[in-house]
Amino acid sequence: MNGPVMPWGAYPTTRLRRNRRDDWSRRLVRENRLHTDDLIWPVFVHEGENRRQPIPSMPGVDRLSIDLLVDAVGQAADLGIPAVAIFPATPPEKKTAEAEEAVNPENLICRATRAIKAAHGDRIGVLCDVALDPYTSHGHDGLVRDGYVVNDETIEVLCRQAVVQAQAGCDVIAPSDMMDGRVGAVRHALDQAGFQQVRIMSYAAKYASAFYGPFRDAVGSASSLGKGDKQTYQMDPANGDEAIREVALDLAEGADMVMVKPGMPYLDIVRRVAETFAAPTYVYQVSGEYAMLDAAASGGWLDRRRGVLESLLAFKRAGADGILTYFAVEVARWL
Ligand code: PBG
C-alpha cells in the first residue's frame, strides 16, 4: 500500500472548498487566532524629558524618554497588551568594557521600570533583558578576555544585573546573552535575593542572525560591535537539533517561559520547541523582520495590515503562545 488510508474520501465527494465558501464557515473551521493577549511590545528608552527620537532603520519606532514611555505603556495596557519589553539606549559615555552601568540601580532601565510600575502597577508586565550589550563599549553581550567572550565571569555580572532589575520592579527577567548555565545562575541569584516570584523568560534558542541589525542601531550597539559578530555564543542558523538541547537546558535550569528568536525564518524551531516541551513558548519577531515588512508596506508592495497579521498568525499556527513584536500596539488597535 502507498501511504496511509485517509478517513475521508476523495474528489468529488470531498470538496475542501465547501468550508471556505462563506465567511461564517471559514470562521467556524478556523484553527488558530491571534489575540491581544498574545502580544509583548518591545520598546526603547533613552535619557531626557519629553524626548522622542525616530530610529531610521525602524520607521515608526521611536526611542522615548521615561515620561513618554510611561504614557505609551499606559496606552498599551489600555489596549490589553499583557507585557512590554524595555531596552535602553545607553549614552555612549556610560558604556565601558566591563559594563558597570548594567548593575547600576540608577541606570535607564531601572528608572524606567520603577516609573512604569509606579504608574501602572500590575496592569501590565515588564520584561527586562539580561545581557551586557547595551552597556559594553565593544558591543558584546558579555565580558571579553583575549578577544573571547568569557562565560562564567560574564554570568556573575548577569546575576547582579538581574537582581538590580528585580529590585526596580521587573516582573520577567529575560536572559538574551546565550552564556551556558546563565538561567540556573540567575534563578539562584533571584531566589537568594528574595525574588522567588520574578519569572524568567529565556532567549533559549537565539540565533546569530543578520536580522538584529536595526535593533543594534536602536540601542547604539551596532557602532560598538563594528565588524564583530556574536557567533561564538549565539546559535548557528544551520542548526535545529541544537535548539532542542538549548531549550531543554534552560527549562531544566528553571526557565518559566522559553523563546525562539528570530521569528519568521525559524518557524520550524518554534514548532519543534512547542511540540517537544509543551512549555510556554514565545517567539520574537525581530527588528529586521519589522523593517522588512514596514519597508514593503511603505513602498506599497504589500498590504500592511494583512501582511503583518498573517506574519503573526503564522507564529500561532507554528505553536507559539505569544509574540514579541514591534507591531504590538498597531495590531492591538486592529484587533
Ligand atoms: C541583546 C538583544 C538583541 C535583541 C534582543 N536582545 C540583539 C543582539 O543579540 O544582538 C534583538 C532584538 C531585535 O533585533 O529586535 N542581546
Q: Is pLDDT above 60 for 1? A: no
Whether the CB of 286 sits within 6 Å of ligand 1? yes
CA-to-CA distance for 219 and 135, rounded, in angstroms? 9
Atom of ligand 1 nearest to the CA of 324: 15
Question: Of all protein residues, whose CA lies closest to atom 6 belonging to ligand 1?
Answer: 176
pLDDT in tens, 270-323: 999 999 999 999 999 999 999 999 999 999 999 999 999 999 999 999 999 999
- Distance from the CA of 216 to the center of ligand 1, in angstroms? 7
Mean pLDDT of 242-263: 98
Longest dimension (CA), the chain: 72
pLDDT in tens, 86-141: 999 999 999 999 999 999 999 999 999 999 999 999 999 999 999 999 999 999 99
Q: Is pLDDT above 80 for 4? A: no
Q: Is pLDDT above 90 for 198? A: yes
Mean pLDDT of 28-39: 98
DSSP 8-state symbol, 136: B
Whether the CB of 133 sits within 6 Å of ligand 1? yes
- Distance from the CA of 208 to the center of ligand 1, in angstroms? 10
- Concatenate the DSSP letters of all residues of 80-125 into one string: T--EEEEEE---GGG-BTT-GGGG-TTSHHHHHHHHHHHHHGGGSE
| Neighbour tally for 51: CB within 10 Å | 14
- Distance from the CA of 294 to the center of ligand 1, in angstroms? 19
DSSP 8-state symbol, 102: G
Backbone angles phi, psi at 325, to 5 degrees: -150, 140
For the entire predicted model, the pTM comes to 0.95
User: Which pLDDT score is estimated for 81?
Assistant: 98
Whether the CB of 129 sits within 6 Å of ligand 1? yes
Mean pLDDT of 47-57: 97
Mean pLDDT of 224-253: 95
221, 134 contact by CB (below 8 A): yes
Residue 222's pLDDT band, with cuts at 50, 70 and 90, is confident
User: Which pLDDT score is estimated for 3?
Assistant: 65
Residues designated catalytic: 206, 261
Whether the CB of 250 sits within 6 Å of ligand 1? no
Mean pLDDT of 11-38: 96
- Distance from the CA of 30 to the center of ligand 1, in angstroms? 33
> Can you list the domains of the chain with their CATH numbers?
33-334 (3.20.20.70)
Whether the CB of 158 sits within 6 Å of ligand 1? no
Whether the CB of 289 sits within 6 Å of ligand 1? no
Mean pLDDT of 202-231: 91
Atom of ligand 1 nearest to the CA of 129: 6
Question: Of all protein residues, whose CA lies closest to atom 2 belonging to ligand 1?
Answer: 176
User: Which pLDDT score is estimated for 10?
Assistant: 84
Whether the CB of 186 sits within 6 Å of ligand 1? no
Whether the CB of 287 sits within 6 Å of ligand 1? yes
CA-to-CA distance for 272 and 278, rounded, in angstroms? 10
Scan for cell 547595551, then name that residue. 134
Mean pLDDT of 256-269: 98
User: Which pLDDT score is estimated for 224?
Assistant: 81
Residue closest to 286 by CA, chosen among 217, 201, 334, 333: 217
User: Which pLDDT score is estimated for 2?
Assistant: 61
DSSP 8-state symbol, 96: B
Scan for cell 520574537, then name that residue. 284
Whether the CB of 131 sits within 6 Å of ligand 1? yes
Give how far the C-alpha of residue 193 lies from the chain's centroid of Cα atoms, to the nearest Å. 25
CA-to-CA distance for 166 and 328, rounded, in angstroms? 24
Whether the CB of 209 sits within 6 Å of ligand 1? no
Scan for cell 478556523, then name that residue. 30
Question: Of all protein residues, whose CA lies closest to atom 10 belonging to ligand 1?
Answer: 212
CA-to-CA distance for 319 and 218, rounded, in angstroms? 29
Which of 215, 225, 293 maximizes ligand 1 atoms within 8 Å of its Cβ, making it the mutation to test the pocket? 215
Atom of ligand 1 nearest to the CA of 290: 15
pLDDT in tens, 137-166: 999 999 999 999 999 999 999 999 999 999
User: Which pLDDT score is estimated for 22?
Assistant: 98
For the chain, what is the mean pLDDT?
96
- Distance from the CA of 241 to the center of ligand 1, in angstroms? 22
- Distance from the CA of 212 to the center of ligand 1, in angstroms? 6
- Distance from the CA of 129 to the center of ligand 1, in angstroms? 9
